[in-house]
Amino acid sequence: GNYSYFIQKRNEMAQADAGGANVLDAESDPSAGIVDLPSTRKSFKTREEKRLEAQERNRLSRITRDLKNELAALEDRIARMETRKAENETTLCAPDIHREPHKIKLLNQEMANLARELEPLYAAWDRMTAEMEPLVPTTKSPP
């Protein structure tokens, strides 16, 4: 590509859009791009359309950014609670723990509380990821 190639392709695109009406063939007339410029402008977006698209992109970006921040905080809280639960399970599996029944009872109570607190967090995580799914573009996998 050079400029005449650009003009030719632009005219071909305009011809495809307009169904071939009032479009000169660039190969037969090198000045076709200059003569036919107004008819090709229809396929280009106006400033207002671009502005509206940019506003929509910004709105979606704000929403996804807020959701991502909330999701990251939620995931961090879930991870800390799961870590604490795993530590309790490890402690309960220790061979010497059977000598301290009071500690066993406290660890089991804490694990039950953690499990009870984790349930709504998992539900919130599912809800937030479902909200975010349509907002984040996905890449199509090859067939």
pLDDT mean by block of 10 residues, the chain; 143 residues? 82 77 49 49 76 88 87 95 95 91 94 96 93 70 50
pLDDT recorded at residue 28: 52
Per-domain boundaries in the chain: 3-43, 69-132
Query: How many whole angstroms separate alpha carbon 111 and alpha carbon 62?
Result: 37
pLDDT recorded at residue 17: 76
8 touches 27 (CB < 8 A): yes
CA–CA distances in Å: residue 117 to residues 7, 51, 120, 123:
65, 45, 6, 11
Of residues 17, 50, 55, the one with CA closest to residue 36: 17
pLDDT recorded at residue 137: 64
CA–CA distances in Å: residue 105 to residues 58, 84, 92, 100, 112:
52, 16, 10, 9, 11
HSE-up of residue 45 (Cα within 13 Å, Cβ side): 8
pLDDT digits (tens, 9 = 90+) for 54-90: 998 888 888 888 889 999 999 999 999 999 999 999 9
Kindly report the average pLDDT of the chain as a whole number.
81
pLDDT recorded at residue 138: 56
- Model pTM above 0.75: no
pLDDT recorded at residue 23: 43
Query: How many whole angstroms separate alpha carbon 6 and alpha carbon 12?
Result: 10
pLDDT recorded at residue 12: 87
64 touches 132 (CB < 8 A): yes
